[in-house]
Amino acid sequence: MIRVISGQWGRILRCAQKDTGGWRERMRDMMDLFRKYRSLILYAVFGALTTLVNMASYWLCFNVLGIPNVPSTAIAWVLAVCFAFITNKLWVFDSPSFDMKIMAHEVPSFFGARLATGLLDVLVMYLAVDVMKWNSTLWKLISNVIVIVLNYIASKLVIFRKKDEQDAGGAGGHS
- Count of domains in the chain? 1
Give domain status of residue 103, yes or no. yes
Q: Is 42 within the bounds of a domain?
A: yes
Does residue 31 form part of some domain? Answer: no
Does 135 reside within a domain? yes
- Spell out the per-residue pLDDT of the chain, length 175, in tens: 445 455 555 655 565 555 556 778 888 888 988 888 898 899 999 988 998 999 999 999 999 999 999 999 889 989 998 999 999 999 998 888 889 999 999 999 999 999 999 899 999 999 999 999 999 999 999 998 898 889 889 998 999 887 665 554 444 333 3
pTM: 0.65
Residue 68 structural domain: 37-161
| Residue 110 falls inside a structural domain | yes
- What gap in Å lies between CA 118 and CA 32, rounded to an integer? 35
Domain membership of residue 55 (yes or no) is yes
Residue 173, in any domain of the structure:
no
pLDDT, residue 161, reads: 83
Burial annotation 59-85 (CB, 10 A radius, 16+ → b, else e): bebbeeeebebeebbbbbbebbbebbb
Q: Does residue 4 lie in a domain region? A: no
Whole-number Å distance between alpha carbons of 128 and 70: 11
